[in-house]
Structure 1
């Protein structure tokens, strides 16, 4: 043991300049501890004051032990984890509580904050359906009379035949049926309530009448915020792009130029996702890098054309600053989404490096950007955008750190156009492999898929995006005020068309999209820790992180999966048998719930007939004595499912069905049915606990519910989807 510790100390001494790169990981672990492991919300003293105190005391201890490597590691880890926990608590409580939305059609008035045009699912010839984001919304009903305006935003889907002309900043009045953010389809799946909490969303709804304008926007700089100006500009540019480029090309062009990703057709989006090109439809580092690279090259060339500026001015630094300014405008124009903000922050670090004459792309720059993001927006550590972008950039930097000497020798030895093309093709393939392999486990965890042909698709699509689509798109944006943008938009569409065809072709190759079961949280954590271990260290012990990577990627097959699942409203029951999920019952959210179950289990989901039987006889429905009931024999245990209740809900299950049964589930209230059954689940239990999953085991059956999985946190709505009541304002004196 002493020899092992001495050897470990020797390795850490050699890597001591890389220890600071682990600061973002400590901050992220603190945020994960707050978001993922707690089941009750800590108070101010425990959630913020205590971690800050721990960070201060750890800083004092680290200063006192500054000459001890182990002391710096211990107390440095305590500092970062405590700061990450405190930042997560503070970021959560900066947002207002979720309001309690009306459960009936309600008259609403509010200010249009954004307008999105959604392509109809019936085809491209159908009119677009609009979605408006309403801020400062007020409800007009007896219960909410005199309420203050909502501090969160409502998303209202307008009727397709509503032709009312709307602009950002307009005051409108509409009657809509609202619903809160949905509950989890299954414990462990995507948490849309968590996303809505940090996106400042209150819920969504559909208009049941036409919109009435109460007041139009005054688009003067002294009256409205710049955000409204940018939203209006985005809306006009989006309309212009679709006028010149109708069809799928216009949707992709509007996505990369103004961030209108909702206009991309469903089939095109699915093809891009299946072929590994989904990142082209998310404005992030690739698009910002192309924009800034083009602007920097043009700016530096322009400054170099004059002898005075070329000899006396820092042309490279000035061009970089100009490129970052254009990048800032581009990020605002595309909606300032989180991946774009992360990329802009990293670009700022690179520009500062250029201005200071330091190395531009480095692990330290990535660490600084990650630390700032986690401290300012700690919720990003739970999102797929942050995880994928950080994993890709980290793998690229680490990969080129190792391969750069070999690549430089090869480039110096190449002569001729053929060797030049081969070198660039190899670099492009290497970039796709590094980024794709690093993000593959993250895609497994969040989307449940593996895309083995992503390298082939990216080797063709990314160069087209860099040298054809984005340059002509930027020229079109620059000339749009002069109404000279149409030729460049046509050329941009000519480049988008083969990319769409490529995505469609690759998506239909055999095994282009391999489904994998749900990855548990500890598996994703093991993947990220292993990836950081491989990328952040430089000595031979870095390869020990491969064990953590393999363990994390194998985790979907190492954990037990539930045998029976119940939807959040209790209307759907799924039984896993013979490689399929047999679904019984009815629900308003039937389609999204079944899609979530299919992704979770990586198995097909199908509705089971009222009278049917599986080939192995494990599931039988529609027996003569109980026509609305199904009986399943799973893992040697009997499960009874009442799939519907044609009576008034007071009918009891036959007593004969309850004899020797281990689990009974009903889409209607069970009431006094089967009182001696160990596990009884019905619509009431689903209303109180959310989605439920039953694990059948010989040692004892286990029921996992949404309420026990997430606990009582600020973003978790109360039973029935209720939030904080919106109390009326006090009467004025």
Structure 2
């Protein structure tokens, strides 16, 4: 039991490191806003946080001699600022427009062009264009202002139109808004679309028409960046058209869409998926190579070597090269975070301070959370922060011991041993720290990630990325082909390694979905473990371990209902038995399978032939009402209508509902089973989205609307947004 005096001693010992907790408190404040059950108004989103900041600052000034008061006041200020920043970031976004649900002709400006691999045996790659300033040409929206959000349109496969960023296009499409989560607590694509400026997606019904004279209506700088990215991608695809060429293009322009699905799965199973996401590793290799070349060039110039600060100048040049690489690869959040940390490193080299430290990471995280607080829920931000924090803390603790352990070696043996140990340690620290985050977001564990990274990461550092930089430098001279071929040889080795490791038994183990509190516990426990250096710092390890086990500590749903109410999934012993049909059936099945860590298989529900599970808990086709099933579990009886009757109004037989505790129907129930306590049908799914039913103790239903609440990014029932019609003057 800690007494007040011992607490003060601990706080005083950690006084210089307490500032590292500022980004943690900012993240908690932003998280509080995003998890709020309803949308706060101006008073709750700005007024209350401003009042809290004023009170906390006043308390810090009034009790300035008290360390506890200053710490409590500072914590309150950080929490309030995080909450207010998140509110402002959410309300800065334009509203989600109402998209037509029929074939509509649209026109817009091409912002980006990406390539996707076509399904097996269906020809070459498929193009997807991102359109800005989109105008809807239909009888409702004709003459309205352009959309303030972008649309992602998949072009028809035989479309041969030459498109580049800045081109104006016109095409007939089918549009759809961002989808609802496939299950309560699942991936929220509406949240992602709200903060990324997307209005939805769609597919073209015919080839696009390029409109002349529409250039120049998009920001010149970003149009130029997009043009360069497109040209780099085209050059790489022209020289290397295969799967390895798609990986090379990903490393040079940041677009991973063209990488085939089987290659993605191999990289994920072998623990090498981070190589396909341009982040700190890639930027570090680029900056390191640029700094090495620049410093060697300055050292070879006698005048510069004797008079100029070559180390600082090389770091500054490498920092600029890294910034250009971040722009070229799409300004993704992990790369931005790494570049911000590189900025701190360059500043440290210039002023003679320690370059890589936990303070640099805290400064980069603080800037990102103030500018874009929504990154607190982004998997890339969580993984990059966890990995870098573990690396910095691990080397702070283990570097002296490694130095003492290798002190007996000399010459080349010392260098090889040192680099080998640091490579193993880096893979082990970063991989272990991000393992629970990967479990939470992707539902998998890759036990062989250390072995795969031991070979892949050095190959990336000494061969692939330096050759990639040389190819980029040679592209203006049209001399990039030799470097791309050499780079492709190294990528092929990595592909072989990923495929080989992925084929090992147990290379990819699926785990159930981690609850939100489990992921929060993992990240907070990791912060405690890495940021607290005094007594009690090791207490973060039990927190991380317990939170990592959280997927097996919570009840799994017995029944899942899709957002449109047309698909039902019954959790069996070894699989999810899926009944019904839905438009997004494949994506919903994949999300359910990942969440419950078991395959989603179809279950026969035809009226002509009865079907049941081996244990008899699910029986279909035995009732007089066609297309119905009965689920018996935990002393509860559930009636499932999995087929919509032909007339749309057939009532369920009263005897079928007599003992039922729950009725679920893909069709409107209307007067069917009026005495059943819980009734779920198409209308309830339309109102509240996806639903999960738990039968462990009573009948408990959790809906998507209940989980997410009424927020700005949550679309209205049916996926409706704000009409594009102009508001009345009074509105």
Normalised TM-score (structure 1):
0.97
Q: Residue deviations 1:593-614, cap 9 Å, x none?
A: 0110011111121110123111
Q: Residue deviations 1:496-550, cap 9 Å, x none?
A: 0010011111111111111111111111111111101110011241111112112
Distance in 1 separating the partners of 2:554 and 2:457: 37
| Structure 1 residue 137 displacement after superposition | 0.3
Q: Flag the 1:640–1:228 CA change in 2: closer, same or farther, 3 A.
A: same
| Structure 1 residue 308 displacement after superposition | 2.1
| Structure 1 residue 56 displacement after superposition | 2.5
1:206 is paired with a residue whose SS is strand
Q: How does 1:297-316 map to 2 (within 5 A)?
A: 297-316=292-311
Q: How does 1:14-25 map to 2 (within 5 A)?
A: 14-25=13-24
Could you tell me which residue of structure 1 aligns to residue 52 of structure 2? 54
Could you tell me which residue of structure 2 aligns to residue 694 of structure 1? 693
Select which of 155, 162, 168 maps to 1:158: 155
Could you tell me which residue of structure 2 aligns to residue 643 of structure 1? 642
Q: Is the 8 A contact 2:10 2:535 kept in 1?
A: no
Distance in 2 separating the partners of 1:308 and 1:482: 30
| Structure 1 residue 561 displacement after superposition | 1.6
Q: Is the 8 A contact 2:131 2:151 kept in 1?
A: yes
Distance in 2 separating the partners of 1:346 and 1:429: 23
In the alignment, structure 1 residue 668 sits paired with structure 2 residue 667: yes
2:570 is paired with a residue whose SS is strand
Q: Is the 8 A contact 1:147 1:729 kept in 2?
A: no
Select which of 208, 212, 215 maps to 2:205: 208
Distance in 2 separating the partners of 1:164 and 1:65: 69
Q: Is the 8 A contact 1:146 1:728 kept in 2?
A: no
Could you tell me which residue of structure 2 aligns to residue 356 of structure 1? 351
In the alignment, structure 1 residue 267 sits paired with structure 2 residue 262: yes
Q: Residue deviations 1:346-388, cap 9 Å, x none?
A: 1111111111111111011110001000000000000101110
Select which of 519, 540, 548 maps to 2:543: 548
Deviating beyond 6 angstroms after TM superposition, the runs of 4 or more aligned structure 1 residues are none
Could you tell me which residue of structure 2 aligns to residue 34 of structure 1? 33
Could you tell me which residue of structure 2 aligns to residue 465 of structure 1? 460
Could you tell me which residue of structure 2 aligns to residue 43 of structure 1? 41
Q: How does 1:517-528 map to 2 (within 5 A)?
A: 517-528=512-523
Distance in 2 separating the partners of 1:604 and 1:232: 42
In the alignment, structure 1 residue 67 sits paired with structure 2 residue 62: no
User: Aligned residue pairs: how many?
Assistant: 725
Q: Residue deviations 1:620-654, cap 9 Å, x none?
A: 11115233111110111101101102412101111
Distance in 2 separating the partners of 1:684 and 1:692: 12
Q: Is the 8 A contact 1:167 1:217 kept in 2?
A: no
Distance in 2 separating the partners of 1:524 and 1:44: 30
Q: Flag the 1:380–1:223 CA change in 2: closer, same or farther, 3 A.
A: closer
In the alignment, structure 1 residue 178 sits paired with structure 2 residue 180: no
| Structure 1 residue 226 displacement after superposition | 1.2
Q: How does 1:434-445 map to 2 (within 5 A)?
A: 434-445=429-440
Select which of 176, 179, 195 maps to 1:198: 195
Structure 2 residues not aligned, in runs of 5+: none
Distance in 2 separating the partners of 1:356 and 1:98: 47
2:686 is paired with a residue whose SS is helix
Q: CA RMSD in A?
A: 1.5
Could you tell me which residue of structure 2 aligns to residue 133 of structure 1? 130
Q: Residue deviations 1:72-94, cap 9 Å, x none?
A: 22111101000000000011011
Normalised TM-score (structure 2):
0.97
Distance in 2 separating the partners of 1:721 and 1:624: 35
Q: Is the 8 A contact 2:109 2:218 kept in 1?
A: no
1:262 is paired with a residue whose SS is coil
Q: Is the 8 A contact 1:131 1:157 kept in 2?
A: yes
Structure 1 residues not aligned, in runs of 5+: none
In the alignment, structure 1 residue 168 sits paired with structure 2 residue 165: yes
| Structure 1 residue 729 displacement after superposition | 8.6
Could you tell me which residue of structure 1 aligns to residue 498 of structure 2? 503
Distance in 1 separating the partners of 2:375 and 2:647: 47
Q: Is the 8 A contact 1:172 1:213 kept in 2?
A: yes
Q: How does 1:357-436 map to 2 (within 5 A)?
A: 357-436=352-431
Q: Is the 8 A contact 1:271 1:504 kept in 2?
A: yes
Q: Residue deviations 1:577-602, cap 9 Å, x none?
A: 22321110000100010110011111
Could you tell me which residue of structure 2 aligns to residue 655 of structure 1? 654
| Structure 1 residue 730 displacement after superposition | 9.1
Q: Is the 8 A contact 1:144 1:728 kept in 2?
A: no
| Structure 1 residue 280 displacement after superposition | 0.4
In the alignment, structure 1 residue 625 sits paired with structure 2 residue 585: no
Q: Flag the 1:204–1:644 CA change in 2: closer, same or farther, 3 A.
A: same
1:413 is paired with a residue whose SS is coil
